[in-house]
Amino acid sequence: MGGLVSALSPMTDSRRGRSGIRSRRRGQGEAVAYDFRRPIQLSREHQRVLQVAFDGFARQATTIFTSTLRTICQVSLRSIDQRSYAEYVESLGQMTYLTAFSTEPMPGQGMIELPLPAVMSSLDHMLGGPGSTSQPLRALSDIEESVVSGLVARLLEGLSYSLADFVSIEPEVTGVEYSPQFAQVAGVGDVMVVFSLDVRIGEQAHVLTVCLPFNGLLPHLTAAVAPAPVSNRERTQRANAAILMDRQFREIPVDVAVRLRSTQLAPQLFIDLKPGDVLRL
């Protein structure tokens, strides 16, 4: 009995080992929930166009923050997401600095969001301070608002410049809000494209977000990824080139060799061969 138990132990251990490997393998790839009621409309081609544009905006924003605050700043693109407007609002803090802007001639409105700690630190830098992290989280005064609005205006200019490769917009500020619940720039279920950017001001890290209407961007994204139109002249040139290539290939000499399969014959049959005989290969 003891020998039987000892013989079965390695098999049990090996099965446990295999099951452990299977469980670890299953844990490596986690399933992502897909909402069939709200299909993803932002294709990979669209994301590539937007990524190129907002990588450029990140470089523009780095220059704007550094030159305006007179301290070392770094901005980089973190993610591009498709969300409903309600989901975007819920992802923001209870109090933040929101600037709504028009996207003429593109329909709809956009929004750029800066966390209040980043706004207060930037304001401290622009007024000659060290940009201390111990800043009050409150609404800005009229004087502070006029100072920060200059920074936001430069960011919107950089945004317009970065998007110019596929859409030309002239953003104009339409309002400033501190509570996301009161910033109504789109319907609750409207699809938005949300860009998240990491902003580092000195040693402080923040996240800046830009929200743009998907329906306004879609026609321009579709045109940007569409193949370039072919003129009648170019189409004729391609057809003539194909005909010429076909003619040239028909006249090229090609060496052809044929090798027949070998067979076995009796010596007498080989001796009796005469014209007209047929050999099966």
HSE-CB of 196 using CA atoms within 13 angstroms: 12
At residue 33, the pLDDT reads 63
At residue 67, the pLDDT reads 93
Lookup result for tokens 């969001």: 113
At residue 115, the pLDDT reads 93
At residue 183, the pLDDT reads 86
Contacts of 214 (CB under 8 A, 6+ apart): 41, 42, 82, 190, 191, 192, 193
Per-residue pLDDT tens listing for the chain (281 residues): 555 445 445 444 544 444 444 444 444 556 656 565 565 677 888 889 999 999 999 999 999 999 999 999 999 999 999 999 999 999 998 899 999 999 988 888 999 999 999 999 999 999 888 877 777 888 999 999 999 999 999 999 999 999 998 898 999 999 999 999 888 888 888 899 999 999 999 889 999 999 999 988 988 888 888 776 767 788 888 888 988 888 888 888 888 888 877 877 777 777 788 888 887 76
At residue 39, the pLDDT reads 59
Strand, coil or helix: what is 94? coil
Which residue segments constitute the domains of the chain, with CATH numbers given? Answer: 44-222 (3.40.1550.10)
Lookup result for tokens 């099966």: 280
At position 66, the amino acid (one-letter code) is T
**Could you give the angle at the alpha carbon of 103 between the alpha carbons of 209 and 214, nearest 5°?**
65
At residue 29, the pLDDT reads 59
Alpha helices by DSSP H, 29-73: 44-69
CB atoms within 10 A of CB 213: 21
